[in-house]
Structure 1
Amino acid sequence: LPHFFFFMKYCSSNRNDIKNGSILRLTTSPYQTALQLHERIQSSSMDAKLEALKDLANASRDITFAQEFINLDGISLLTQMVESGTDFGDLLSFTLTAFVELMDHGIVSWDTFSVAFIKKIASYVNKSAMDTAVLQRSLAILESMVLNSQDLYHKVAQEITIGQLIPHLQGPTPINDEMAHQLYVLQVLTFNLLEDRMMTKMDPQDQAQRDIIFELRRIAFDVECEPNNSGSIEKRKSMYTRDYKKLGFINHVNPAVDFTQIPPGMLALDNMLYFARHHQDAYIRIVLENSSREDKHECPFGRSSIELTKMLCEILKVGELRNENCHDFHPMFFTHDRSFEEFFCICIQLLNKTWKEMRATSEDFNKVMQVVREQIMRALTLKPNSLDQFKSRLQNLSYTEILKIRQSERMNQEDFQSRPILELREKIQPEIMELIKQQRLNRLCEGTCFRKISSRRRQDKFWYCRLSPNHKVLHYGDLEESPQGEVPHDSLQDKLPVADIKAVITGKDCPHMKEKGALKQNKVCLFSVCTRHTLLFLEYFAP
């Protein structure tokens, strides 16, 4: 059997679809191949059965074959093999691979599977020591169940808990690029859960929301609180106004108005309440310490918290789309269930400390925020493994240290801006630009393989494109597998003269972005080539 299957029945209606020079392989029909494999995977010989399962996993990528095999009740046969529990190692791995490939065509509903099958697949995930390939296929099956069936979602949730998944992430194996990307994606999705609160304005008339502000006041000034029935209404209003001023709100009469700005909206109030409840001593110390200073030297806690929350959302890109090529994640955010809130608590204390070090006044508020942003960014660059490490890094980035770093960077920059350097740069720039041009042309001539992503999230198709040696024609075409090395021009069936190219459109401006909502998460990697006569849509991701 060939390594990769693509079945096509040759007849008079499609003979014109076959181009001259195409290499065809005569093989058995999809039905005959499916029938043979259906028999072979039931062989009593383990070696013969293994080879049959390998071929089945390979052939199942083709939808024509998949339809024939499914018509032979092949899915039921595979599930019975899994439920029996008699296959292990490579036999089980290729059985699950074939199952995943067949189900990926969307021919069979996920709701047809039994609880026994779900429990068996879940058992492979729950085992601490399991073959990597089996674990990957099992997770893929459970993911598809969760995504495609609400009923199966609840059944899978009963079998798999977060605690059972964590050990698989704690292995000694170094984090590779794929794992780093997945952790980055998880980080983005986790932070994007904050977007709703970040974009929600506070309703000044909502009593439940106003009670949160009352709670902040109660925790900070508990000894100064008076019963609601004591004194006149005017006296109580005066007392509230005084306390809200001490808390650092801009609107002393109705601080709820401060949270109508989005972003950060209600997320800022959530952070303040978390800080007050979980770091009560630090909260009270900051509020009372600043309320005892002169008005112009106090660091307003309320205003600072709102602006800091907005800044942290910008730094962590809350609400932004993920980048499909990014591997940048911060380990410390996976060490605490409320990592963003704890991150805020550390940073608000840093802000208060930096304010004192700068001897700032109310006019210096924006300057302080700029310094705090720099402190946070420099500490994050060091990729601390825990929030405690992050806090320790900040201790070494005092305002004085930031000034030293800025001075050092300024000196280095001035060296590069000196007249001799500028003259040398101007002299060699044309040569460097020509070198860059040649390198880019050479890379285009070598060509690149792109991975196709279909609406069913399949990623097994490839597409290759390269520039001709005379730089006049783009050769491109589909591939069945990722090539090892360059693909010859002769094997790429389609051509596009460079002279006919009008423009290259990238990202969200691509015409097919309007048609494929599922690809919006990956818009930064999309491109289309626009010719002078029509639009040639190349709906693939850049590698």
Structure 2
Amino acid sequence: MPPPKDVVKIAIQMMGAIPQLIELNQTKPLAAVVKEVCDVWNLGNAEHYALQYVDGQQTYITESNRAEIKNGSILRLTTSPDQEAERLHSGIRSHNLDVKADSLKKLANLSRDITFAQEFINRNGLKQLFLIVEEGNDIGEILAHTLKAFMELMEHDFVSWETLSPAFIKKIVRYVNTGGMDTSVQQLSLSILENMVPSSRLLFELVKREVTLDRLLTHLQVTNQQLQLKAMALLIALLLNASDAERRDMMGYLGERNIRQFIHKNIIHASEPMGDEMAHYLYVLQSITLNLLERRMRTPMDPYSQEQRELLQFLRHSAFELESEPSAGSVSAERRRSVCVTEFRKLGFQNYSNPAQDLHRTPPGLLALDNMVYFSRHCPSAYSRFVLENSSRDDKHECPFARSSIQLTLALCEILHVGEPCSETAQAFYLMFFGQDHFFQELFCICIQLQNKTWKEMRATQEDFDKVLQVVREQITRTLSLKPTSLELFKTRVNALNYSEILRLRQTERMHQEETLAVPVLELRERLKPELLQLIRQQRLLRLCEGTLFRKISSRRRQDKLWYCRLSPNHKVLHYGDVEQGVQSAPIESLPEKIPVADIKELLVGRECPHMKEKGSGKHNKDVLDLAFSISYDVEEYYLNFIAPTRYEFCLWTDGLNVLLGREMTSERTQSELDILLSMELKLRLLDLENISIPDAPPPVPNPPSNLNFCYDFSPHEQ
């Protein structure tokens, strides 16, 4: 007969005693359970004891979380949270430095538990930590444990960051600004300031005033990766919480101080590989920098602005200075106007009598004018060649420079997501962005010349303008997907991807589609599908068995905390638990929490997830919604909430969980991989390889030749 659903079998340990194996009745008050356990070990004052998990974060068992106890859990009888809080509150005030240090170290560990944290804060424990910092008598290990405990207690959001005393904040700022301080103290101090910044406008202004950008740049140049990370986190927090004008000023100053070179040298090309957190911050910095262009992108040209009209005239004079009239007084105003109209037409403006009208549409607005002026100033010979070469062609075959520049600027804004909010999880930044000043403008200079080159390769006419732009856009996106490390490499690759190559790629893709649409081929596809879907199912389950590192994200800030989840080899239990920073893979034995697969009731994704309903549905959370999924389990409908690190991991996990639930795999990744496998299998079947044995092992690699005299170094310029 199976045990009642309200009864779980657990083990309870205590130092120096024989463990107890009990059947815990979840309907019985927890105080009564603790008293029964104490009675077995002849312990009085049962109210001074509590149960606590042995593994993981060693959370205290309370009436609110006791339902999470599973069969086979191992608990420990220990001092109750209120007694432990009282003892540590007394210990951190001790004049004995060893007692004080030990108490603070234990406080830092126990403060992760919400029950203990509440008891300690209720005893005015935070005030005692403030005193330790404000008095400034303790340094090194004691100070580091104090700051760590303070951070853990503040994570529970029982106390507002705005309640911090000016003396405490002043000390924290001094730890950041003082050279030669203990690195662990500086890291924790930077984290405290990072948390203060989004809490209130007053704290933002205080941190911005006291911790200079120069000081943060100094921290970015150190070799300690964790210190770099915390400094970058504070810098990003300041930028994200600044007003538009403040952000523009800060980015201008950082540009003057060559932050790009610091990042390129000390972070991207550091000896140690970059972590996910730093990759995210670099992505955010890239987004913030590109979004500085948004104001110009959304500003239409003002035909009455003298400055903007002068920029248009500068474009005209730069291209046609030899053709311009020698003396304004020797010709009539009508003649000068006629020359201007002709030259603006040759420049490629559609409304050449009033070119400002072409720049009235937003986006790209004035950003297109800025790009044209930048190109004419920094690549004058290429600019003149582009304009003059096309003005000498037949009207139908000329590539209009101005129209091309306006549309290309708009395309680049869309490709680089200019004006879009930063993602909360993305890590994809362009290495070449930090390797080049004026990245957007330099990229434009390469791409506008590419447009002219592609125009000629396509022998395009004015009617083909949109087709040419579509090809150029494809050339740019295909090249960016290769992740070039520099603009020079981007230029080389994008020019190599000429129109003929684009046609070849399109033809290959089209032929592949046509091959797969014949009736006999479609029938063969259907016969092969079940076997290949089973292969994908096996791969998904294997991936779940390997496990994935997930990050905890709150609505307040991006968190440093990580947890790991993996499926047991027999596919019957999900194991999960918190892990430390730097852990790439956690063995099953180190993951204390378990969910039997048989208890999983439902898989939820996106807005259906409980943690997404809490976060709201704003535009800023769109990327998180695409990565969020939850599982409901047990009769009581508990939830385990996930935010996948990438869309790829999201697809693997949702597919794997659907397989465990006996359902169809629904992700786009499944369809993509099924198409690839079907294509490969179909090609093998259509090769008609009957009676030809395909070896299981690859053929042996032959010995190298005795000499290499047949080798010829072919250079591209010899074509």
Q: Report TM bin, short chain.
A: 0.7 to 0.9
Asked whether the 8 Å contact 2:344–2:353 carries over to 1, the reply is yes
Tell me which residue corresponds to 1:202: 301
> Aligned partners of 1:272 and 1:376: how far apart in 2?
19
Tell me which residue corresponds to 2:106: 55
Report the 3-state secondary structure (helix = DSSP H, G, I; strand = E; otherwise coil) of the residue aligned with 2:588.
Answer: coil
User: Quick check: 1:158 aligned with 2:257?
Assistant: no
* Residue identity matched to 1:4: Q
User: Quick check: 1:87 aligned with 2:139?
Assistant: yes
Alpha-carbon displacement from aligned partner over 1:494-540 (angstroms, at most 9, x marks no partner): 99774xx5x84425998727836474452222246799xx9998764
Asked whether the 8 Å contact 2:425–2:624 carries over to 1, the reply is no
* Residue identity matched to 2:412: L
Deviation at 1:73, TM superposition (A): 5.1
The normalised TM-score by structure 1 is: 0.76
> Aligned partners of 1:91 and 1:463: how far apart in 2?
31
User: Quick check: 1:329 aligned with 2:429?
Assistant: yes
> Aligned partners of 2:477 and 2:575: how far apart in 1?
44
Report the 3-state secondary structure (helix = DSSP H, G, I; strand = E; otherwise coil) of the residue aligned with 2:312.
Answer: helix
Larger radius of gyration: 2
* Residue identity matched to 1:164: T
* Residue identity matched to 2:113: D
User: Quick check: 1:104 aligned with 2:203?
Assistant: no
> Aligned partners of 2:543 and 2:488: how far apart in 1?
45
Aligned residues: percent identity? 43
* Equivalent residue in structure 2 for 1:190, among 283, 289, 293: 289
Asked whether the 8 Å contact 1:507–1:525 carries over to 2, the reply is no
* Equivalent residue in structure 2 for 1:4, among 48, 57, 68: 57
Q: 1:279 to 1:54 in 2, by over 3 A?
A: farther
Alpha-carbon displacement from aligned partner over 1:270-302 (angstroms, at most 9, x marks no partner): 222322334344333433333333323322111
* Residue identity matched to 2:274: I
> Aligned partners of 1:193 and 1:122: how far apart in 2?
29
Asked whether the 8 Å contact 1:60–1:102 carries over to 2, the reply is yes
Tell me which residue corresponds to 1:512: 613
Tell me which residue corresponds to 2:588: 485
Q: How does 1:254-269 map to 2 (within 5 A)?
A: 254-269=354-369
Asked whether the 8 Å contact 1:512–1:537 carries over to 2, the reply is no
> Aligned partners of 1:446 and 1:378: how far apart in 2?
32
Query: Comparing 366-375 with 335-344, which one deviates more in the overlay?
Result: 366-375
Asked whether the 8 Å contact 1:505–1:530 carries over to 2, the reply is no
Q: 1:205 to 1:152 in 2, by over 3 A?
A: same
Q: 1:80 to 1:49 in 2, by over 3 A?
A: closer
> Aligned partners of 2:206 and 2:442: how far apart in 1?
35
Deviation at 1:317, TM superposition (A): 2.7
Tell me which residue corresponds to 1:122: 176
Q: How does 1:319-398 map to 2 (within 5 A)?
A: 319-320=419-420, 322=422, 326-395=426-495, 397=496
Alpha-carbon displacement from aligned partner over 1:478-506 (angstroms, at most 9, x marks no partner): 967798528999954999774xx5x8442
* Residue identity matched to 1:97: K
Q: 1:9 to 1:294 in 2, by over 3 A?
A: closer
Deviation at 1:308, TM superposition (A): 0.9
* Equivalent residue in structure 1 for 2:504, among 395, 407, 411: 407
Q: 1:303 to 1:68 in 2, by over 3 A?
A: same
Comparing both chains, which one has the higher relative contact order based on Cα–Cα distances under 8 Å and sequence gaps of 6 or more? 1
CA-based RMSD: 4.8
* Equivalent residue in structure 2 for 1:431, among 508, 516, 531: 531
Deviation at 1:433, TM superposition (A): 1.9
> Aligned partners of 1:86 and 1:188: how far apart in 2?
41
> Aligned partners of 1:305 and 1:489: how far apart in 2?
59
Query: Comparing 434-443 with 106-115, which one deviates more in the overlay?
Result: 434-443
* Residue identity matched to 2:271: P
Report the 3-state secondary structure (helix = DSSP H, G, I; strand = E; otherwise coil) of the residue aligned with 1:286.
Answer: helix
Gaps of 5+ in 1: none
* Equivalent residue in structure 1 for 2:375, among 262, 272, 275: 275
Tell me which residue corresponds to 1:307: 407
Gaps of 5+ in 2: 1-51, 222-227, 229-262, 581-585, 646-719
* Equivalent residue in structure 2 for 1:526, among 608, 613, 628: 628
Q: 1:304 to 1:16 in 2, by over 3 A?
A: closer
Q: 1:513 to 1:7 in 2, by over 3 A?
A: closer
Deviation at 1:305, TM superposition (A): 0.6
Report the 3-state secondary structure (helix = DSSP H, G, I; strand = E; otherwise coil) of the residue aligned with 2:643.
Answer: coil
Alpha-carbon displacement from aligned partner over 1:366-415 (angstroms, at most 9, x marks no partner): 343233334333433343333233334345x163xx52475377458747
Report the 3-state secondary structure (helix = DSSP H, G, I; strand = E; otherwise coil) of the residue aligned with 1:294.
Answer: coil
Q: 1:276 to 1:25 in 2, by over 3 A?
A: same
Report the 3-state secondary structure (helix = DSSP H, G, I; strand = E; otherwise coil) of the residue aligned with 2:484.
Answer: coil
> Aligned partners of 1:188 and 1:487: how far apart in 2?
38
Deviation at 1:303, TM superposition (A): 0.6
> Aligned partners of 2:65 and 2:359: how far apart in 1?
68
Asked whether the 8 Å contact 1:119–1:159 carries over to 2, the reply is no
